[in-house]
Amino acid sequence: EAGVTQFPSHSVIEKGQTVTLRCDPISGHDNLYWYRRVMGKEIKFLLHFVKESKQDESGMPNNRFLAERTGGTYSTLKVQPAELEDSGVYFCASSQGTAWGSTDTQYFGPGTRLTVL
Q: Say which amino acid occupies 65.
A: F
Which range binds another protein by CB under 8 A, 20-28, 44-52, 61-69, 71-79? Answer: 44-52
65 binds another protein (CB under 8 A): no
110 binds another protein (CB under 8 A): yes
What are the Cα distances from residue 15, in Å, to 25, 46, 56, 60? 29, 21, 28, 19
Please enumerate in sequence order all residues whose Cβ is within 8 A of that of 29, keeping only pairs 6 or more positions apart, or say none: 94, 95, 96, 97, 107
| Choice between 8 and 16, CB closer to another protein | 8
DSSP code at position 8: -
SS3 of residue 50 by DSSP: strand
The one among 22, 44, 64, 78 contacting another protein by CB under 8 A: 44
CB of 85 to another protein, least distance (A): 18
Positions in the binding site for another protein (CB under 8 A)? 3-4, 31, 33, 35, 41-45, 48, 55-56, 58-59, 91, 95, 100-101, 103, 105-111
